[in-house]
Structure 1
């Protein structure tokens, strides 16, 4: 039996590209806050011959996440892959000028929510399943204080889980994507020559191959 995959942060960017790529072999459960983005993704997946279940919800809501995980268990019995692509990208700012609201949002989504998702999603992943996190090693760079610090904390949490599951599974993968022309990057590097960046679809294909994800099917 092939279990479905869960992508949190699937409405755009790398999350959407991974959903489209992996829908070639898996049923995709696409989660995002933006229903319109998910509907556009679903159109693309259906046009390619794949199938998806859309879950428009706020992943910072623990009750919504628990309901989603229970529904996944009741319908499919578990997951084969979880790719966590959701992120809050706070505006660049000197460390002494970080907006308190952006700081709170960064901690809530990038750190607190990841710490809540792992214990809720982990029981759904089979021993040979995979959880995938995406690093962005900008922590410590100037003006990246809010995003960089909370992204680094997220990856530190993923690394702890990775070390803890070496013998038991699921396999936790941490990968650093190539620079892509995403909305997040546009906020950080306005005016950048986006033609020199790797497309999200190309990077999704590279990650799928590098992590041998189709072998999970």
Structure 2
């Protein structure tokens, strides 16, 4: 007797899917049977992820655009519903580091872009996909946070502020949908080997860090219809 993949028949959308954690999670969700909608700015990176998914027998759809394009995000929910008739899993992974530095000396344009990418874009995603996720028999929304939100180390800049605000917003959203079948959680992937990590800690030896694939299973757990966790920050 064969067992159906955990996410067979499900549709999942992953932002920041062209590399790092986003790519690893998208490929793992596809292996579990989900059709994955790949969202990122870089078309080339998305095509590579799509090729790997298809080579492994999975299915995906590429949606290349910048999350700063809020007008496009606002119609994304209806577009996905029109094409697939559902969305079961939303993974808000895309993030921007900007730079570390004193708040008083932070470049305002960089500050605004980091906040827009890490916080406002996720608000727009919640807004456009709320109805579709609630319509699923087991909607799942997963957002990526960071240990930087603790604010215990100086110079975290807009990145730390945006992730702290993201946590507050997602917890609020989780409380609002608590009586529905939608489960909403955050993942702090910890110290994972990514380009963003290398940008923030250039002196670190990446060979000593876990790979993005090492945390992808945790996303699958939270994306599963069997998941009961809700309103949590799950540490990898």
TM over 0.5, shorter chain = yes
Instruction: Count how many residue pairs are aligned between Structure 1 and Structure 2.
Output: 215
* Aligned residue number for residue 178 of structure 1: 190
Q: TM-score, normalised by structure 2?
A: 0.85
CA contact (8 A) 1:208 1:214 kept: no
Listed as ranges, the gaps of 5+ residues in structure 2 are 1-7, 228-236
* Aligned residue number for residue 28 of structure 1: 36
* Aligned residue number for residue 233 of structure 2: none
2:10 to 3, 8, 29: 3
* Aligned residue number for residue 195 of structure 1: 207
Listed as ranges, the gaps of 5+ residues in structure 1 are none
Query: Shift in Å at residue 202 of structure 1?
Result: 1.4
CA contact (8 A) 2:140 2:223 kept: no
Question: 1:18 and 2:25 equivalent?
Answer: yes
- Distance in 1 separating the partners of 2:72 and 2:123: 15
Query: Shift in Å at residue 117 of structure 1?
Result: 1.5
* Aligned residue number for residue 70 of structure 1: 78
* 3-state SS, counterpart of residue 50 of structure 2: helix
Question: 1:104 and 2:99 equivalent?
Answer: no
Q: Please say which of residues 55-64 and 24-33 is displaced more in the overlay.
A: 55-64
CA RMSD of aligned residues (A): 1.7
CA contact (8 A) 1:85 1:133 kept: yes
- Distance in 2 separating the partners of 1:178 and 1:113: 22
- Alpha-carbon spacing, 1:172–1:31, altered in 2? closer, same or farther (3 Å): same
CA contact (8 A) 2:142 2:219 kept: no
Q: Deviations over 1:147-189 (max 9, x none)?
A: 1011111111011001111111311011211311101100111
- Distance in 2 separating the partners of 1:42 and 1:149: 33
CA contact (8 A) 1:131 1:173 kept: yes
* 3-state SS, counterpart of residue 192 of structure 1: coil
CA contact (8 A) 1:3 1:76 kept: no
Question: 1:136 and 2:146 equivalent?
Answer: yes
Q: Deviations over 1:41-100 (max 9, x none)?
A: 111111111110000012222321233322211121111100000111111112222111
